[in-house]
Chain A
């Protein structure tokens, strides 16, 4: 078993294609997780039990089951009831939904961190509830959450290989297919590992910067 640079050069374009898709999936899923997480967090806080309780149950259910099972369900089971999704869409929904239940928890902590006096000042100045959220609560709650949210972004990035199970041609799946067709695993798998390592290290640097920049706002 020896390292073949010529083979590396040959498979590099394919792997880079996969890497591009991996990054794209991460970004799209992050948007879904960030947006949906906020909806879940607000719904779970609702004073209306008919909204709050089912939301809490949904969050527990999604957290209590593996992401891989959820992906299979979305991609292979939903078509049985007539919902057919392209692999990429299914993957983004699955990842986004799964991580939304975690970001919801980050939001909850951030929202509860905003002092009661801020809600009261908003009401005393006659802001409506949506205005209070948009102009008073979220702008204060968000900065301290950024490091925790970035942490989940990195975790999400490293989970993207799961999407190879539902035929998304992300980095891992591309590497597997070139490896299988050439009967050489060492270069593709090493490169996949190296790509993830480099991206993770870069993200950690970004994360440290975010923590320095925003973390201090959390008292």
Chain B
């Protein structure tokens, strides 16, 4: 341990020498690692935005329960309260015939004139039921089977599709993580092995002088850590650039989509990618070093 501390400056210098010895190859390794981590960062950011969208839609998820004919106002109130107490229901509110018409007029805009053709209000009153998206099936069944409810309208298909997309993004994220991990390990261990090969005479001499394996290995571990960290920082910078550009570009045009705060996404990238890159750098270096056989 004492030797280790005394020689820390030497290790740093050695690591720099190992990098300089194969400078171009190491630059390409950094770029390669950076590119892979960049792709991972994009997938993670996409998953984050997708998750946020699902949470938002989850909060907005609702089904509408339409009343049977001849139901009294008191019975409507009682039914709304009863449904409101069901598991998976966030809230209920009765939308009467007039409000239903007003909403349609808002949707139709200038085309709302068409509604003047009706002598009477053609819209029915209904209960607006906000639900947990995970309890959609359960709530719909419960509402359908409630006495006083004629039928239920839901947007389950849309919600399910969004859920599927987010799920696919998550799977893609995991696959990307695995791909990034394996690729970085291969790139890095190859690079370390190359470095070891280039320094095989020196390593052999150190062994003959009795140098401990850790003393020989440490500069290579530092090299791996440094190069992947550089790749990680490069990836985080690129992604923050992309996120900033995307937020400035589309933030105003789709105000109805609530995106996660950009600082949150950028900060996550600056913690996650360099951290992940260092872990991969360490593993890759150890993997590369494990290939050295004692003779």
> Is chain B found bound to chain A in the same assembly?
no
